[in-house]
Chains A and B, each alone.
Chain A
Amino acid sequence: MNIFDRMMSLDRRWVFLFVALVCVITYLIPFSIKINITPEVKSIYDHVESLKAGDYILLAIDYDPNALAELHPMTYAIAEQAFRKELKVIFVTLSQNGPGMADQAIRDISDSLRLEKTYNGITYPARQLINGKDYVFLGYKPYPALVILGMGQNFRLPFPSDYYGTPLDSIPMMKGVLNYDQIKCVIDFAAGNVADMWISYGQGRYNFPLALGMTGVMGADYYPYLNSGQVFGLMGGLLGAAQYESLADNPGPAIDGMRIQLYAHIVIILFILMGNIGFLVTRRKKQV
């Protein structure tokens, strides 16, 4: 077996070893990389920025812990931006393990808001988040399509009470909030086909502004909806989350993770190129 044969049939454990080494080394060495912003991410940031204090937005936490690395940073960045702007946030989840994700995000964001912080040159005072006044967490219900349709008629249909058991009618923030008509935008963080349901049954029927945050592998599938105007923004994977953190001037795990992802990608590309060089040279030799 010559060197070119070896280049195209390397034991996969070498690939695992190099990817692992690069991930560990880049994690340990502190450095930063430039994050370029795409229009589809910026449009979400601009939309949230354009809202006034007291406006309502709905954040759908439709992912499980397996997509946490990519989607949690998006949730954190957008929710913190919304709370700093004093928007009213309605959380809902249509994913089985979503309640735990949303609950964790709310707790962490509440902690972060207790500190005075400066984003994009504006200093926001510390504040205490109050459940029922600043946000409502509706919880989880199965059958996403039905829940999305039900909320279009009345939030109280699928969710007579919130996650903590308080009837929606006795929550101050929900007074006068009947359905999507009172919501300025819905942002769905999805790691599955729930995003399709938000587009078909939610935006398609009730015509509210919808933006999507999704895992990297799903991103390309949703460009048709962006192009048709059915969604006004799209964040794909860690890159999308890093762009949002960059726009919000709130560096977090996504920007931190991008340097690791960048070098892991470079290693994968080098392996692909190496395999192809071996393949092309071997094929040429056979033809000769």
Chain B
Amino acid sequence: MKRQIPLLLVLVFGIFMIFQYFVPHESSEWIYEFFLDWIYIIGIFALALGIWSLIRVSYDKIKYKKPNWQYAVITLAGLFAMILFGFDYGRHFFSAEGLSNYMFRAFFDYILIPIQATMFSLLAFFIASAAYRAFRARSLLATLLLVSALVVMLRFNPYFGPIGPYLEQTASWLLNVPNLAAKRAIIIGIGLGMVATALKVILGIERAYLGKD
């Protein structure tokens, strides 16, 4: 019974959601909206759980002076500061006016944006280093990959003069023919795999999501 009820629920709701997708009837839409609300409610609980988990882990790190506990202090300070600013120091709990709070915007514009942009821009250095070490003409396929990468990287280089348009055409061909063929095969493969997995879940063949008990 412990397993049958969840399996039955998945079967009923799975079939309904497939059915609903193709039936734009008013009642079908109403039920869909109802389910949509439930998904958001579950999502809000997941968010609360995530915040609670972050606070607990950080608190334990600080309490027991675990390695790098200082970062946990910054994490908690950031979390509570953004909540405080987002609610406009408690003045606007139930409206969105806190989102225009000066400090809320300043923290986003001058702390979060530079931090994330810096982290991402560091990728340029690691990609450069990885490309230097990995792009070696060890075999025919590796050479093809190397040449293709060079053509695509150089396609808009304005310093190639008369060769430029040919490079552009070759790059366009690479993107629109071999790349397209490979990608289509992958996309269709993934799509069929998803349908098969969904059917297995709906029909109760795939039960890993239920856990071991």
Contact = CB atoms under 8 A, between A and B. Distances in A.
How would you classify the secondary structure of chain B's contact residues: helix, strand, loop or mixed? helix
Interface in B7-54: 21, 29, 32-33, 36, 39-40, 43
Contacts, number: 138
Contacts of A264: 124, 128
A276 B149 CA distance: 14
A226 to B, nearest CB: 8
Interface residues of B, number: 53
Given A16-B128, A268-B132, A272-B150, A103 B105 contact: yes
Contact of A224 (B32, B131, B158, B183): B183
Contact of A34 (B136, B158, B179): B158
A157 B33 CA distance: 7
Contacts of A15: 125, 128-129, 132
Contacts of B135: 272, 275-276
Interface in B189-204: none
Contacts of A65: 112-117
Secondary structure type dominating chain A contacts: helix
A178 interface: no
A280 B146 CA distance: 14
Interface in A1-43: 8, 10, 12, 15-16, 19-20, 23, 33-36, 38
Contacts of A142: 40, 43
Contact of A271 (B39, B128, B179): B128
B179 A223 contact: yes
Interface string A68-110: 1100000000000000000000000000010110011000000
A276 B40 contact: no
B136 A275 contact: yes
Interface of B: 21, 29, 32-33, 36, 39-40, 43, 95-97, 99-100, 105, 108-109, 112-117, 119-121, 124-125, 127-129, 131-133, 135-138, 146, 150, 153-154, 156-158, 168, 172, 175-176, 179-180, 183-184, 187
6 contacts: A12-B129, A15-B128, A100-B109, A142-B43, A164-B100, A269-B150
Interface of A: 8, 10, 12, 15-16, 19-20, 23, 33-36, 38, 64-69, 97, 99-100, 103-104, 141-143, 146, 150, 153, 157-158, 161, 163-165, 205, 220-221, 223-224, 227, 239, 262, 264-269, 271-272, 274-276, 279-280
